[in-house]
């Protein structure tokens, strides 16, 4: 498997399991720095390399009235402060081709949202920045479909690729995780991540916003570790019930350390 350097850490290959974590969306500079600082401390105590995630714009909300974030200019400024102050890599969703060059000046990983995982021009633009590209597998895709998406990125001259499993549509307003997907995608030779947060999302389940079942996050994360995933993606918040975006499928900060300790034990047993 290909090893990829992200900021000051290495992922994939024979490297240890890593964590992508943070609040769903940037709420304020103070909140983002506070969450990032706590996540760095928790991940450090658990011995898990951290990549901080928070979105400057969540363009695929259920309702036009849903909170989307501060936007690219202010959002990237905040993420740069996280990166420079705490010395941790940062990741954010990028929804528009026109934002790629600006986003690449700050982001260590450009994330392509699941709903946009087949948008060829968007993916090619992300690849051409030479930043690492994390493709979230669309809820409508089979794992073997990701090979074609890899080809789009490689054709643009970029082999810093991460694949993320985030569940598959299972009837209306529901998702299900097929852990065979992790093993299938690992055969393509790039690091594979399991998104334990969005896999328990209930898209549009609350009418004007998505619901979720955060109580299942820990068990699914442990299952992914047992399968041999390279990284775990968990959206984390100090007060998920008060979060302006995706609260029902975010893990409470207080529960993260215990989960990471269990994940590490499983990783050691599997290896």
pLDDT mean over 9-15? 97
- What CA dihedral angle connects 14, 11, 175 and 236, to 10 degrees? 130
CATH number for the domain harbouring residue 205: 3.20.20.70
pLDDT, residue 151, reads: 98
Q: Which pLDDT value is given to residue 208?
A: 62
Tokens of residue 266, six digits: 């499983």
Mind giving me the DSSP string for 112-157? EPGGGTT-HHHHHHHHHTTSEEEEEPPTT--GGGHHHHHHHHHHTT
Taking all residues of the chain, what is their mean pLDDT, rounded to a whole number? 95
Given a cut of 70, whether residue 58 has pLDDT beyond it is: yes
* 63 vs 224, more confident: 224
Predicted pLDDT of residue 61: 66
Q: What is the mean pLDDT of residues 56-64?
A: 80
pLDDT of residue 92: 98
Predicted confidence at residue 82, as pLDDT, reads 98
pLDDT given at position 60: 76
For the record, the structure tokens of 117 come out as 């995982």
SS3 helix, strand, coil % of the chain, rounded to 5? 40, 20, 35
Bridge partner residues of 232 (DSSP): 19, 194
How is residue 28 written in tokens? 């304020």
Q: Taking a C-beta distance cutoff of 8 angstroms, is the pair 175, 204 a contact?
A: no
Query: 242 exposed, middle or buried (CB, 10 Å; 0-12, 13-18, 19+)?
Result: exposed
| CB 108, CB 132: distance < 8 Å | yes
Q: Does the CA dihedral 111-116-117-122 come out positive or negative?
A: negative
For the segment 69-113, what is each residue's pLDDT rounded down to a tens digit? 999 999 999 999 999 999 999 999 999 999 999 999 999 999 999
CA 170 to CA 71: how far, in whole Å? 32
Alpha helices in the chain (DSSP H): 29-46, 72-86, 100-104, 120-128, 146-155, 180-186, 217-227, 256-270
- Taking only the tens place, the pLDDT of each residue in 189-217 is 999 999 999 999 988 767 666 778 999 99
Domain limits for position 16: 3-270
Average pLDDT over residues 250-268: 98
Number of domains in the chain: 1
């Amino acid at each position: 498997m290909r090893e990829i350097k992200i900021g000051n850490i290495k992922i994939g290959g024979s490297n240890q399991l890593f964590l992508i974590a943070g609040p769903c969306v940037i709420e304020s500079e103070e909140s983002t720095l506070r969450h990032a600082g706590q996540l760095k401390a928790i991940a450090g105590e658990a011995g898990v390399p951290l990549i901080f995630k928070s979105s400057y714009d969540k363009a695929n909300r259920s309702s036009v009235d849903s909170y989307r974030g501060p936007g690219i200019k202010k959002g990237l400024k905040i993420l740069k402060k996280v990166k420079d102050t705490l010395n941790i890599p940062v990741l954010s969703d990028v929804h528009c081709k026109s934002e790629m060059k600006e986003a690449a000046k700050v982001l260590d990983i450009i994330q392509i949202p699941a709903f946009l995982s087949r948008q060829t021009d968007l993916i090619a633009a992300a690849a051409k920045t030479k930043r690492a590209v994390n493709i979230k597998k669309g809820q409508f895709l089979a794992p073997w479909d990701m090979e074609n998406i890899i080809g789009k990125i490689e054709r643009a001259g970029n082999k810093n690729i991460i694949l993320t499993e985030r569940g598959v549509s299972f009837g209306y307003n529901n998702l299900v995780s097929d852990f065979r997907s992790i093993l299938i995608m690992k055969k393509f030779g790039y690091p594979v991540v399991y998104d334990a947060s969005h896999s328990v999302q209930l898209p549009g389940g609350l009418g004007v916003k998505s619901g979720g079942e955060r109580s299942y996050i820990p068990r699914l994360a442990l299952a992914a570790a047992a399968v041999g995933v390279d990284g775990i993606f968990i959206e984390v918040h100090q007060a998920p019930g008060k979060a302006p975006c995706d609260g029902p499928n975010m893990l409470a900060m207080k529960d993260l350390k215990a989960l990471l300790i269990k994940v590490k034990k499983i990783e050691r047993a599997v290896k």
